[in-house]
Amino acid sequence: MSRQPFPDLARIDAFDKVQGKTKYSSDVPFPDLLHAMTVPATIGKGMVTSIDVEHALAVPGVVRVLTPQDTPPPPPGPQGSPPPPPMLVHAIGYRGQPLALVVAETLEAAIEGAEAVRVSYAPEPFAVRFEDADAAREDTESPIFGEADAAFETATTRIEAIYTTTANHHNPMELLSTTAVWAGGRLTIYEGTQGSNGLKNTVAQLLQIDRALVDVISPQIGGGFGQRGEVPRHTAVVAQAARLLRRPVKLVMPRHQIFHNSRFRPHVQHAIKLGADANGKMISAHYDCLQQNSRRGRYRSDWYHAGPCKVYGIENYRGTSGDLRLDTHGPAQMRAPYEHPSAFAFESAVDELAFALGRDPVEFRLAHDTKIDASTGKRLTSRHLNECLTRGAEQFGWTGRPVQPGTLKAADGTMIGWGVGAGVYQAAMHPAIATLRVSANGTTRYASAGHEMGQGMRTAIAQVLIAGLRIDPARLTILIGDTTVAPQHSTAGSWGTASSVPVAVAAAEKMTAALEELLDGRTVNGNMHDQLARLRRPFIEVEVSMVAPGQGPEHLERLKTGGMAIAGLHGTYPDFTALSYIAHFVEVHVEPHTRRIRVPRVVSVADCGRVISPRTARSQVQGGVVWALGAALREMSETDPRYGGWLNADIAEYHVSVNADIGKIDVSFIDEPDFDANSAGVKGIGEIAMVGAAAALANGVFHATGRRIRTLPIRVEHLI
Ligand code: MOS
């Protein structure tokens, strides 16, 4: 690939989206479609003693009510693997858990039927607040290297603090939905998912049918970010309803039910001790994180260390972590799931240490550049964090920033603060298989692994196909997220572009070589379609497959059977560590009387390797910064100690940032390829986008007011 920057092409799906033409999974029409509605548990924990469906069945249009007796119990998973989520069961683990599914001729009848189902319970005591956890902390082994205790003893400057990050919920525009269609003995599921092959496997397992009989189609997702990385409990229930009723069934889950049932970011308490020597070098870090989890939740507490144990090359590190078990649905991935909370805590602590040392926080970070991943001893591939910091400081106008807080003021008394925060995120990758067909009729068809979650994966693939092939871009079709066209790996962990682009480049190169072989030295005018037409060849099709560094054929096999086949988890490869980097600069304004916080401007500079699609990469960072500022100032999922579950379970009371909350976000990229990571030099942008931005804001609040707020979200009451 050439080293020229890619052109700033518009999203290939932009016009369809703004015209409302894009079809999401629940938009696919079917004659004979039935509508479903779930019946959620209204208690926090206990057993269902009876479900009375008589009144529901009396509602005109209701055709059936599925209860636990209509769904098979989950079969045991293969040896050593956890069982799949159950469908409908009598045991209630959390408020809002679906207990029954009402199926009707219309959505209105399904809703009315669901409200008419009478459930009797034997309630049990439950705990949903972090402070009410009734069980002891369960520890998980975490990274420990060097001699953190001894180094802390010798440190001449130390800080010690506890930070908390609150629970947060995903609120994408598209609601969770499933449409299940049985035809000719095959089941097809239309659902916005980040892992169509995983969903296929889980549904087949739960319904106890051959996975070869299940297709999953997920061409467009109205927001992924981790929420759609698991198979929701209701998916197989809808498929079971379609099987029993022999008609297509669709469920669109209302947002208030989604709050109780879908993945969320857990509440976490972060205890940090940092020590620096007489030269101002960080020589010791202790980091303990304690997160909320569900009773059987498998969301790991030790992964909060992934960033802090690598970012500044601190040689003595003692990580500890644990879970407190509560009666909610399982917490799990939500954009930069570990890195955003841990960077808030760690980058706040670094700011506190820099201040204690009387150092400028940018200069202090620049002094901690490293070539080595201290946690593994491996070489770091391309690391441009210092360029991100330097370029960001310049663009922001950081020079001349007073070290003392509370010194910058506007004419009307507004307190002004400038904060910085940095971050790292894994550069991971999965294997992929792609087929590319260029036809004499002017069309091009490309099929491979990946999911379009709105992040712009199709646009990134189109950029390299258009750059590498002389084809008609208007008649290029990119098929992803569909188990019928190519094996699908889950799309998450910021590995999308790094996994989908190198294989697309290879396919374009193979196509070019195949056409040259066909031309055999002859000169034929026109683009590839014209050339094929003149040579009377209807089409050329090529297939390529690709694995990540350190992977072999067994990983391709895992891809084909729908398993996870990631390389570079936490950036770790056999011979090196590959990470994306970012620096955020935030200006904070605090109104002197109400202490209302506003953020008029942010400057973010990212090193995500090669930028394939400048337009969508920039959008990712702008969106990530908005998420981080939302988490820092507004978003908070509050639990309900009276009834269980979540109290503010809708977007009227769970406050996401709106346009009026967002100032100028100036994004730029280092755009240096990392050819250790992959042949396209891509490291990934989706999650690094928000890492460190919440800390930059909190550090700005300190600079504006002298008040160090260690809890997110930061609210007016913290500053009064
Ligand atoms: Mo992401 S939180 O790994 O979809």
Q: What is the pLDDT of residues 580-635, one digit of tens each?
A: 999 999 999 999 999 999 999 999 999 999 999 999 999 999 999 999 999 999 99
Q: Which helix (H) or strand (E) holds 658?
A: none
Residues paired with 318 in a beta bridge: 144, 286
Three state DSSP letters for 44-110: CCEEEEEEECHHHHCCCCEEEEECHHHCCCCCCCCCCCCCCCCCCCCEECCCCCEEEEEEECCHHHH
Ligand 1 contacts CB of residue 226 (under 6 A): yes
Nearest to 421 by CA among 318, 503, 311, 571: 311
Cis-peptide, bond into residue 713, ω within 30° of zero:
yes
424 CA → ligand 1 middle, Å: 15
pLDDT-wise least confident of 127-136, 190-199, 213-222, 581-590: 127-136
pLDDT at 238 over 70: yes
pLDDT at 285 over 70: yes
Ligand 1 contacts CB of residue 405 (under 6 A): no
Q: What is the pLDDT of residues 670-719, one digit of tens each?
A: 999 999 999 999 999 999 999 999 999 999 999 999 999 999 999 999 99
Residue 676, Cβ neighbours under 10 Å: how many?
19
pLDDT at 3 over 90: no
Nearest to 424 by CA among 700, 689, 143: 689
Residue 2, Cβ neighbours under 10 Å: how many?
7
CB-based contact 568:677 (threshold 8 Å): yes
Ligand 1 contacts CB of residue 454 (under 6 A): no
| Cα dihedral: 368, 378, 384, 690 (round 10) | -90
Q: What is the pLDDT of residues 355-404, one digit of tens each?
A: 999 999 999 999 999 999 999 999 999 999 999 999 999 999 999 899 99
195 CA → ligand 1 middle, Å: 11
Percentage, residues of the chain above pLDDT 70 = 98
Residue closest by Cα to atom 4 of ligand 1: 226
pLDDT band at residue 78 using 50, 70 and 90 as cut-offs:
low
Nearest to 219 by CA among 193, 182, 250: 193
Q: What is the pLDDT of residues 495-509, one digit of tens each?
A: 999 999 999 999 999
Percentage, residues of the chain above pLDDT 90 = 96
Atom of ligand 1 nearest to the CA of 334: 2
pLDDT band at residue 79 using 50, 70 and 90 as cut-offs:
low
* For range 40-68, the mean pLDDT: 98
227 CA → ligand 1 middle, Å: 8
- pLDDT, averaged across the chain: 96
pLDDT at 65 over 90: yes
Ligand 1 contacts CB of residue 499 (under 6 A): no
If one residue of 570, 687, 688, 690 were mutated to test the ligand 1 pocket, choosing by the most ligand atoms within 8 A of its CB, it would be: 687
Ligand 1 contacts CB of residue 334 (under 6 A): yes
pLDDT band at residue 81 using 50, 70 and 90 as cut-offs:
low
Ligand 1 contacts CB of residue 493 (under 6 A): yes
461 CA → ligand 1 middle, Å: 20
Quote the pLDDT of residue 80.
61
pLDDT band at residue 2 using 50, 70 and 90 as cut-offs:
low
Quote the pLDDT of residue 133.
83
Ligand 1 contacts CB of residue 266 (under 6 A): no
pLDDT band at residue 1 using 50, 70 and 90 as cut-offs:
low
Ligand 1 contacts CB of residue 225 (under 6 A): yes
pLDDT band at residue 526 using 50, 70 and 90 as cut-offs:
very high
pLDDT at 453 over 70: yes
Ligand 1 contacts CB of residue 195 (under 6 A): no
pLDDT band at residue 4 using 50, 70 and 90 as cut-offs:
confident
Ligand 1 contacts CB of residue 558 (under 6 A): no
Quote the pLDDT of residue 86.
80
If one residue of 221, 225, 569 were mutated to test the ligand 1 pocket, choosing by the most ligand atoms within 8 A of its CB, it would be: 225
Atom of ligand 1 nearest to the CA of 333: 2
Q: Cα–Cα distance between 483 and 507 in angstroms, integer?
A: 19
Quote the pLDDT of residue 425.
98
Quote the pLDDT of residue 56.
98
Ligand 1 contacts CB of residue 495 (under 6 A): no
* For range 54-66, the mean pLDDT: 98
